[in-house]
Structure 1
Amino acid sequence: MENSNQAGFHNVNGLMYKNQKPYSGYIFSFFPQTTDTMEVSGYYLGKEHGNWRKYSINKTKTESRLFVNGSKEGELKACWPDGRKKLNYHFFNNEYEGNYKEWNYQGQLTLNLNYHKGYEEGVEQMFYDDGKVRANYIIKNGRRFGLLGTKNCTNVSDSIFKN
């Protein structure tokens, strides 16, 4: 494991080099003016590889993800600096696969999407910060059905049946 501030590291077109050679190993970086770890990232023959981790200044893990030979794989988890959930994605072969969720700083779910081979598929939901539905639709065989929220859409019950 080596410090990213050491001379010789540079990134060219997405590949990490050390002393003009593709780098294999882990690199860490510190927060400025501290010895607190900010990020740990791995490489194999210059490509992103292995478990990557990021931390907040208060030492909370804020992100963890996996790369295999330059390809995003598995689960990406991220948290706000205080440790609360921020996002959770899944990858297979460098594409979104499965459930994809995001939360705002208050902990409210704002995105709940589903992917298959990099494309939206299934139930897709978006919410405003207050929890109200922004969009709620289903993608089936490449077609979208449901409340899109693209032109100030509101639920029928919200617009017609107000007292």
Structure 2
Amino acid sequence: MLGTLFGIDAEDPHLERGLQLAYFDKPLTGFLRESYDDGSIKRLSRYVDGERVAAYKWYPGGTRAFVKIYRNGKRHTEHVDWWPNGEVKYSRVFVNGIQQGEVIASYRDGTLEKRFNYVDGKQRGRQQLWNVDGSVRANFVMTATRRYGLIGEKVCNGGPSDRAEL
């Protein structure tokens, strides 16, 4: 069998992709590795009995790009993506593949871009967006049937806008 210390190469001809990932006709338990041309690790995916349970990715140079955990083939727990400079790009939580709780996104320089809230995969509660200069782009509340607040330059509660007519 080929390298198990650093995982099995994703191009290994003995891999069988189907409902489960198999290696030499057995469900894979271990790491599947993808590498950059220089040999550095690009992505590691961890498998247990042929099912992916985790995925990790790095940018060239070794800075982490993301960490994702899976349960029963679905995204589960906190998933974090980073910009190449190490700043957090996204942070979000999944429960059995459904987005739950707070989602935070940042611009490349680390400035907060968005803070959204999810319940059972749907936006609920306070949702906020900022421009790269820190000014508010949107600030609204989502209910099951309606959106209340500011989206861009228009008020979305059916009332008059605070902006003067041009």
> Please, what TM-score do these two structures have when normalized by structure 2?
0.80
Q: Secondary structure at the match of 1:97?
A: strand
Q: Secondary structure at the match of 2:154?
A: coil
2: distance between equivalents of 1:18 and 1:142? 49
- Answer whether contact 2:88 2:110 (CA < 8 A) is retained: yes
Matched, 1:97 2:100: yes
Residue 139 of structure 1 deviates from its aligned partner by 1.3
Distance 1:11 1:127, change over 3 A: farther
Unaligned stretches of 5+ residues in structure 2: 1-6, 156-160
Give the structure 2 partner of residue 153 of structure 1.
154
Residue 120 of structure 1 deviates from its aligned partner by 0.7
Residue 22 of structure 1 deviates from its aligned partner by 4.7
Give the structure 1 partner of residue 30 of structure 2.
25
Give the structure 1 partner of residue 21 of structure 2.
16
Give, as a single letter, the amino acid of the residue that structure 1 aligns with 2:36. Answer: F
Q: Equivalent of 1:7, from 1, 7, 13?
A: 13
Q: After the TM superposition, which residues 120-131 of structure 1 pair with which residues of structure 2 at under 5 Å, given as runs?
A: 120-131=123-134
Aligned length: 153
- Answer whether contact 2:66 2:80 (CA < 8 A) is retained: yes
1: distance between equivalents of 2:59 and 2:13? 25
Residue 38 of structure 1 deviates from its aligned partner by 0.8
Distance 1:21 1:142, change over 3 A: farther
2: distance between equivalents of 1:16 and 1:45? 8
Considering only aligned residues, what root-mean-square deviation do their CA atoms show, in Å?
A: 2.2
Residue 20 of structure 1 deviates from its aligned partner by 6.3
Residue 21 of structure 1 deviates from its aligned partner by 5.8
Residue 115 of structure 1 deviates from its aligned partner by 0.4
Residue 8 of structure 1 deviates from its aligned partner by 3.0
Calculate percent identity across the aligned residue pairs: 24
Deviations 1:36-79 (A, max 9, x none): 11111122344321x32111111111211211120111011111
> Please, what TM-score do these two structures have when normalized by structure 1?
0.81
Unaligned stretches of 5+ residues in structure 1: none
Deviations 1:8-34 (A, max 9, x none): 335457x534456653432111112x1
Q: After the TM superposition, which residues 72-151 of structure 1 pair with which residues of structure 2 at under 5 Å, given as runs?
A: 72-149=75-152
